[in-house]
Structure 1
Amino acid sequence: MSEYFVHESSYVDEDVIIGKNTKIWHFCHIQKGARIGKDCSFGQNVNVSNNVKIGNGCKVQNNVSIYEGVELKDYVFCGPSMVFTNDLTPRAKYPKGPRGYKKTLLDTGCSIGANATIVCGNKIGQWAMIASGAVVTKDVPDYALYAGVPAKQIGFVCECGNVLGEDLKCSCGREYKKDKDSLVRSNDD
């Protein structure tokens, strides 16, 4: 018996690593060379392309394609039908293949809202939050809250997901201080 679950309607290519307690639901495709951590969940119709790396505890909702060149660290949330790109200047007649892909990194604990788009070549900072429908065209600092088209920073969020006020203290007890364009924790859990 397998240590992970793959629905019978899904395909897992050869040379794939899937961590313990991960669940892959209906109509998914996990392509060659993909590396997926433990305790992840992939909703209906998710595609994980060749050589993609996904950390532990990630949640990928329905209708998301994670293209080659994208990496998800631990506890990343990808909302329904959000979009990744991996080529800034694609042409059907002149495909570049992996050598033309721009790397995209989603750092630990960040969340991407439904129908948001992450343009390739950018980093989403740890515990950052991207609003539904936003289009991210540049790097996002740690704990930043981004919204709009193109996405702009509209505030900061706590690790727990609450929007922070000006005092940068959360009702959960976590406190932060500014460090350039980002935040850092100023107290222990």
Structure 2
Amino acid sequence: CGRNFKAFHHVKISFGYNLEVGDNVVVHRHVLLDDRGGIRLGDGVSVSDFANVYSHSHGVVEGRDIATPVTAIGAGVRITYHATVMSGVHLAEGTMLGAFGVATKDTEPHAIYAGIPAKKIKDKPDESRRPSTPDPLAD
């Protein structure tokens, strides 16, 4: 676990042994981190209330077929309210996933994604690429 990790009330970590957390990460209320296959949260990640991050999925035909790819959340990513990251997805550095968005595929760095399934809306402005403050709650 990295420095300055903050987790608020009712955060659920499914297994607890497959989670890597970078520095200055904040996970807000009622978040599910399904770490069965492994989750990596890079430095400066922010996960907003009621978001879900999965690292396992079941087969469509046979529910007992379980895939457990690692789900990777890059440095400076923001996963906003009620958003979902599906198993095995890599959110690239600086990605923002909009409220209620469902990320089913890897993203491009420093871009904003929204919708179901999440699609790229636009690139983030250059000023948003600056390093975050040491305290993620100070922003």
TM range, smaller chain: 0.7 to 0.9
Higher alpha-carbon Rg = 1
- Native 8 Å contact 2:27 2:48 kept in 1: yes
Counterpart code for 2:2: G
Aligned to 2:22: 55
Output aligned runs, 1:56-71, within 5 Å.
56-68=23-35, 69-71=38-40
Counterpart for residue 73 of structure 1? 42
Query: In 1, distance between residues paired with 2:6 and 2:29?
Result: 10
1:148, 1:95 → 2: CA distance?
Answer: 28
Residue type at the aligned position of 2:57: L
- How many residue pairs get aligned? The number is 124
TM-score by length of 2: 0.80
Q: Gaps spanning 5+ residues in structure 2: where?
A: 131-139
CA contact (8 A) 1:50 1:67 kept: no
Contact 1:38 1:56 in 2 (8 A): yes
Task: Note the C-alpha offset of 1:173.
Answer: 9.5
Give the letter for the 1:87 counterpart: H
Residue 3 (structure 2) aligned to one of 38, 42, 46: 38
Label 1:70 to 1:173 Cα distance change in 2 as closer, same or farther (>3 A): closer
| 8 Å CA contact retained: 1:76, 1:109 | yes
Shift of 1:82: 0.3
Instruction: Evaluate the alpha carbon distance shift between residue 173 and residue 95 of structure 1 in structure 2; reply closer, same or farther with a 3 A threshold.
Output: closer
Q: Following TM superposition, where does structure 1 have runs of at least 4 consecutive aligned residues deviating by more than 6 angstroms? A: none
> Which residue identity does 1:94 align to in structure 2?
R
> What is the deviation of 1:86?
1.9
Q: Deviations over 1:91-120 (max 9, x none)?
A: 9x8375xxx311110010110011001011
Contact kept, 8 Å, 2:96 with 2:112, in 1: the verdict is yes
For residues 71 and 101 of structure 1, the distance between their equivalents in structure 2, rounded to whole angstroms, comes to: 13
1:85-104 equivalences in 2 (<5 Å): 85-89=54-58, 94=64, 96=66, 100-104=67-71
Higher RCO structure, 1 or 2 (CA under 8 Å, sep 6+): 2
TM-score by length of 1: 0.60
2:85 to 108, 112, 118: 118
- How many angstroms apart in 1 are the aligned matches of 2:83 and 2:129? 30
For the 8 Å contact 2:58–2:65, the answer to whether it is kept is: no
- Distance in 2 between residues matched to 1:41 and 1:131, nearest whole Å: 21
Tell me which residue corresponds to 2:137. none
Whole-Å separation in 2 of the counterparts to 1:134 and 1:173 = 21
- What are the equivalent positions in structure 2 for 1:124-139 lying under 5 Å apart? 124-139=91-106
- Post-superposition Cα deviations, 1:115-159, rounded to whole Å, max 9, x if no partner, equal 0010111100101101010011100111010011111001111xx
